[in-house]
Amino acid sequence: MASIDTSPEVMLTFYRRLYPFKSIFNWLNHEHAPTRLFTNREFAFTLPGDVYLRYNSFSTAEELKKQVCNLNPTRFEVGPVYSLRPRDKKTARPGMFVPLQRELVFDIDMTDYDPVRTCCSGADICKRCWVFIALAVKVLDVAIREQFGYENLLWVYSGRRGIHLWISDKEAMELTDDQRKALVGWMTVVHGGHESSKKLNVRSASRSLPPPLQTAVDILNETFTDLILSDQNLFASKEAYETLLEQIPDPQTVSHLRTKWTNDPDRSSEDKWKDFKKEVKRYENGSSQRNNLVAAMEDIILFYTYPRIDAEVSKHRNHLLKAPFCIHPKTGRVCVPVDPERIDDFNPEAVPTVNQLLQELDTSCRSENWERTSLKPYVDIMDRHALRLMERVRQEKRGKGM
């Protein structure tokens, strides 16, 4: 990858000529004329030298652009809609300045998958391990729409190693912190970080999976062989297959598999999974031993491939999250919206960088904005999303006879 220039001069040019402020306004505001959803919205700016400015608010997209170009931040974040304009916070009486609305947000970060990926680690990411993120998008997009009935979901690539989800349905935006905590608790199956080594506890007394998780297993099972067994070859080492054996509840099966794999250390992950399946079939169909092992296989698929949600991001209305179309300072890539229907085709390494976009702008002498650059298809995704939100507001107003 070519060297990335995210100097103040480059960033200022990007904000002045390319950043789609109007699209951001439409998305956050849900209407053409300014409403509380925008005017009472918090924006926070990160300036060079790690200076952090909170509780900024604006009346229009033009005001926001003017201040962004004036401050020239390395990035900026979007927060909740408050009871008062955030810029008036210092003059507010105690208890009068409180968060009222906020998109329900989810954050999936590749580093939480370090225990289950072999191609990269830490901040690194490649097309191979991006499949984990693509799976997360598929599972969560279906689950959130089917379980909670939310429709207005915006997926945004973080610019480096993860993806954010913003849910703008009115009902989602009005959730309290306790309701958000309960919802994300329901959605969390595998904890990220140090807790990821814990066994799953997702089954009822009947040992059956809840229907939403059974749907997830059906989606994940299609990719488990290709991703975990073949591509990542995750159970190749002794340490890795011992972790797998810890999740098998039948001592006899564990003993047979450990002996076989110890005697054949070069056995591939695919072969080891086939060995496990053969052991399961040794027990009579319908027996408790076989049912328990089948359940364990499903739990293993969930453990290695189910979305790993950063729950803290989702629990609180006053949490700030990086705005779409910001530039990631390490990669220079734009934080672009992603079409969940085409997530398998999305390549994070092909996302335009700020330097690439400015070069495209310079070669297109008739253009002074993003419309003749490779940013256009991503802004189009945002604009289509904003239009759906605006149409819903129009329909609600018609229904009320306004």
Q: Would you name the residues annotated as active-site residues?
A: 42, 107, 109
204 CB-near residues (< 8 Å, 6+ apart): 210
- Own/partner contacts of 310-313, CB < 8 Å, gap of 24 or more, are 310/106, 310/107, 310/108, 310/109, 310/112, 310/192, 311/184, 311/185, 311/188, 311/191, 313/105, 313/106, 313/107
| HSE-CB of 321 using CA atoms within 13 angstroms | 29
325 CB-near residues (< 8 Å, 6+ apart): 19, 20, 23, 24, 334, 335, 336, 375, 378, 379, 382
Closest alpha carbon to 136 in 112, 120, 167: 112
* Residues across the chain: 402
3-state DSSP percent of the chain in helix, strand and coil, to 5: 50, 10, 35
Compute how many other C-beta atoms are within 10 angstroms of the C-beta atom of residue 25: 23
Buried b (16+ CB within 10 A) or exposed e, 74-89: bbbbbbbbbebbbeee
Given phi > 0 = left and psi -120 to 50 = alpha, else beta, which region is 122? left
In the sheet that holds 337-338, the strands lie side by side as: 104-109, 162-167, 153-157, 337-338
Cα(207)–Cα(17) distance, integer angstroms: 57
Q: Can you name the residues that pair with 75 across neighbouring β-strands? A: 46
Instruction: Report the chain's terminal Cα–Cα distance, integer Å.
Output: 54
Residue 326's Cα: distance from chain center in Å? 16
